[in-house]
Amino acid sequence: MKVLVVLSALVALCAGSAVPLVPGDNSHYVEGESRFIWMPDGEGVPHLVDLQEPVDEDFLRNRNGANNQYWLYTRWNPTNPQVIVHGNANTIWSSNYVASRPLKVIVHGWNSDGNSAINPLVRDAFLAVSDANVIVVDWRSLANGLYATAVAGVPSVGQFLGNFLVWLINTAGGNWNNVHLVGFSLGAHVVGTAGRTAGGWPVRVTGLDPAGPLWSGNGNAINGNAGTYVECIHTDGGLLGIFNPSGNADFYPNGGRNPQPGCWLSTCSHSRAYELFAATVHHNHLNGRLCGNINQAQNNQCTGGTLLMGNGNLAKRGNGIYGLTTGASWPY
């Protein structure tokens, strides 16, 4: 019996440490046990990540949230950003920022930048339906480092973003009831920290498949204290995303796990979160049903009251776990 236990432990250890060979295939991954996982960059290309790699402290000191860039887009400059520099009021006055407009803030994830796929997709959706100030946060200087180092830097990126938003509104005007923060993967935890840094004043915070690896039990993860209404959309839970509820309302399209319809790989299911969100901003058409528990959500067995997933409605409120089914292609 003892030999069997030892052999089982060795098999588990080898499985957890084995290097997966097929790019994007995370079928080997066991949360909390596996050492390696495939993660997509901003264009969906998978990269192999070692979750046991040490944090690069020197890199972290030089590339923290102070390096954040804030790119403003409006209907007057829908594709060419105006850079607002924290502490330099002239960069606001010379921009198209208008205090009375809604303020939408978009934050990318790991190995990405302000031009990565999430940003134009969600930015264009917001500008198509409302005359808004849209700020894309580019934190590439830290996000493009080792994954574990980027995870360690998320609190700094979020704190600098939160302080920037406080400064922007105090300097140029605005209303926290018009502020909506949206973050994908690691960016979901960034907007969670930013919202808490700003005292929970943002009226809406949306986490798009909040990053899972190295986030279990992490006190810096997105939670319901980030804003008046915090919503999370889970599409790759237990792999690249967190599966457990993380906001006031949590949506689990198609069970909240890989594979999402039309996806074969976990990396595709992870990115589906921002695609679904952008579609709901345009069409506001994906209705969740309230679940009695997370198992019902995972098995698409929810039959309770309805709540629309995603969208840009600043007055939206809700609580609980919601399940729904979607299509395999836009607008899902």
Q: In angstroms, what is the C-alpha Rg of the chain?
A: 20
Q: Which is catalytic among the residues 41, 270, 271, 282?
A: 270
Coil, strand or helix at 296: helix
* Tokens describing residue 190: 């960034």
φ, ψ of residue 137 to 5 degrees: the values are: -95, 120
Burial of 250 (0-12, 13-18, 19+ CB in 10 A): buried
Q: Hey, what long-range contacts does 44-48 have (CB within 8 A, 24 or more apart)?
A: 44/117, 44/267, 44/268, 44/271, 46/265, 46/267, 47/111, 48/19, 48/20, 48/23
Two structure tokens written together for 317: 């409120």
- Tokens coding 198: 């700003």
124 catalytic per annotation: no
Which of 95, 156, 185, 246 is labelled catalytic? 185
Structure tokens given for 146: 């080792």
Q: Which residue in the block uniquely carries the two structure tokens 């330099």?
A: 88
Q: Find the Cα–Cα–Cα–Cα dihedral 42, 47, 53, 58, rounded to 10°.
A: -40
Active-site annotation holds for 270: yes
The Cα angle at residue 275 between residues 270 and 276, in degrees rounded to 5 = 95
Half-sphere exposure of 231 (CA within 13 A, CB side): 27
Token look-up 């986490």 returns: 207
Residue 207's beta-bridge partner residues?
A: 183, 232
| CA angle at 135 for the pair 147 and 158, rounded to the nearest 5° | 40
25 has catalytic annotation: no
The active-site residue out of 209, 234, 250, 282 is 209
What positions carry a catalytic annotation? Answer: 185, 209, 270
